[in-house]
Amino acid sequence: MKKILILGAGLSASSLIKYLLDHSEIHDWKIRLGDVSLAIAQKKINGHANGVAFVFDVNNQEQVSEEVSQADIVVSMLPARFHYLVANACVEHGVHMVTASYVSKEIKALNEKAQEKGLILLNEIGVDPGIDHMSAMQVMDKIREKGGKILEFESSTGGLVAPKYDNNPWNYKFTWNPRNVVLAGQGNSQFLHNGKYKYIPYNKLFERYERIDILDLGEFEIYPNRDSLSYRKVYGLEDVKTMFRGTIRRPGFCKAWNVFVQLGMTSDDYVFNNSENATYRDFMNSYLAYDEEKSVEQKVSEYLKIPEDSDIMYKLRWLGIFKSEKIGMIDATPAQILQQLLEKKWGLEAEDKDMIVMHHQFVYELNGKAKKILSSMAVYGEDQVHTAMSITVGIPAAIATKMILTGEIKNISGVLVPTIKEIYNPVMKELENYKVKFIEEEIDWQ
């Protein structure tokens, strides 16, 4: 009998929990699921004989240590900043660990200790990061096996509302953590284009998008992620000429979102004065110069050179950002105020389903000829529990957890990401059962 400890029972953990419970009988697993909310954990266990829900507090070091010490493997679905607390305990007690988050510096530092104990600390095995790595590696393996040299690599992902439910002027709804959406892109973005390093500051990010068609889903736009360069090494693409990672939205999103960026309304660095009694209209007006005569709408329009009858202004009005409605939040930052407004308008309705779209482009050279491969995926949510986000984040992590417990992943240890054939091939194969499947197209490329 093997014991699995799952920490965090939030939205993105649903499909993972279900997978592990569903496979617990045949593999003789016992699962303990900890969350700050016992109710949520119990709901996800749903009375399953092999599962136990309990109240878990990651800041209670004693509890972390005790729970981890009794497990054979830990899957942390906690917010990313807490993973290292769990990872420390895993290394101490000799327990494997799986997360769907980026490898942090703190976790990277555990590599040697983990290797000494023969432990696997597998990270970035969700969707982005996760499925992006694994699906890209599979295509690159095929190219390399036939002797091709990869010249360009671009990869983008978006969490969106499924087309059938895509019924607001922004063509966007929150399908994951709204706070991350509001703060997305802050800092500097960097990538490589035709051998040239390119840097984009936050204030230009949402002006530097590209339009693209994906599958039969129509048009999208892609804006750059923060860091595209560090993946060169991970993917063995040190000599690549173009290396780009991006985020997918529907057309028109970036231009409208850019209004908030330009005005400074996405800042999380200071408290907005009197956020309790101020209105959304006051909030907007605070980013515009004083004028005795002009309306807030007129001022935005003139300041950012956006015609009042444009789609952008329509999107803004639709959000209610010009309304004299009280914000009613105490000591809120601009980003928090904006998030509250967006949640009212961008929340999923009861019947809504989400969609994850992923799109890779590879240009490679073989026998003096350039070819381009487009590889695309669209996954749809089943319902509001098993969303596309929950499936694509959780099922890869769940499959990897199974493979570690059954010994399918062996002879490797340390802090890992799934760019290892032994991991990504079986995981991608099994993901097809969950409708996670890429469609490839190859074309000649001058």
Residues that bind a copy of itself (CB under 8 A): 187-188, 190, 193-194, 196-204, 208, 229, 261-264, 267, 269-270, 272-274, 285-290, 334
Nearer to a copy of itself by Cβ, of 113 and 193: the residue is 193
Q: How far is the CB of 373 from a copy of itself (least distance, A)?
A: 21
Nearer to a copy of itself by Cβ, of 56 and 272: the residue is 272
Nearer to a copy of itself by Cβ, of 91 and 200: the residue is 200
Nearer to a copy of itself by Cβ, of 193 and 345: the residue is 193
Q: How far is the CB of 331 from a copy of itself (least distance, A)?
A: 14
Query: What phi-psi label fits residue 128: left (phi over 0), alpha (psi between -120 and 50 degrees) or beta?
Result: beta
Q: How far is the CB of 20 from a copy of itself (least distance, A)?
A: 40
Q: How far is the CB of 400 from a copy of itself (least distance, A)?
A: 32
Q: How far is the CB of 192 from a copy of itself (least distance, A)?
A: 9
Q: How far is the CB of 213 from a copy of itself (least distance, A)?
A: 20
Angle at 105 between CA 99 and CA 107, to 5 degrees: 40
Nearer to a copy of itself by Cβ, of 90 and 200: the residue is 200
Q: How far is the CB of 269 from a copy of itself (least distance, A)?
A: 6
Residue labelled with tokens 């986000």 = 389
Q: How far is the CB of 228 from a copy of itself (least distance, A)?
A: 12
Answer whether 192's CB lies under 8 Å from 228's CB. yes
Nearer to a copy of itself by Cβ, of 200 and 389: the residue is 200
Q: How far is the CB of 446 from a copy of itself (least distance, A)?
A: 12
Nearer to a copy of itself by Cβ, of 215 and 271: the residue is 271
Distance between CA atoms of residues 185 and 225, nearest Å: 7
Q: How far is the CB of 193 from a copy of itself (least distance, A)?
A: 4
Nearer to a copy of itself by Cβ, of 95 and 222: the residue is 222
Q: Is the dihedral of CA 213, 217, 222, 226 positive or negative?
A: negative
Nearer to a copy of itself by Cβ, of 170 and 287: the residue is 287
Which residue type is seen at 80?
A
Nearer to a copy of itself by Cβ, of 283 and 424: the residue is 283
Distance between CA atoms of residues 354 and 384, nearest Å: 8
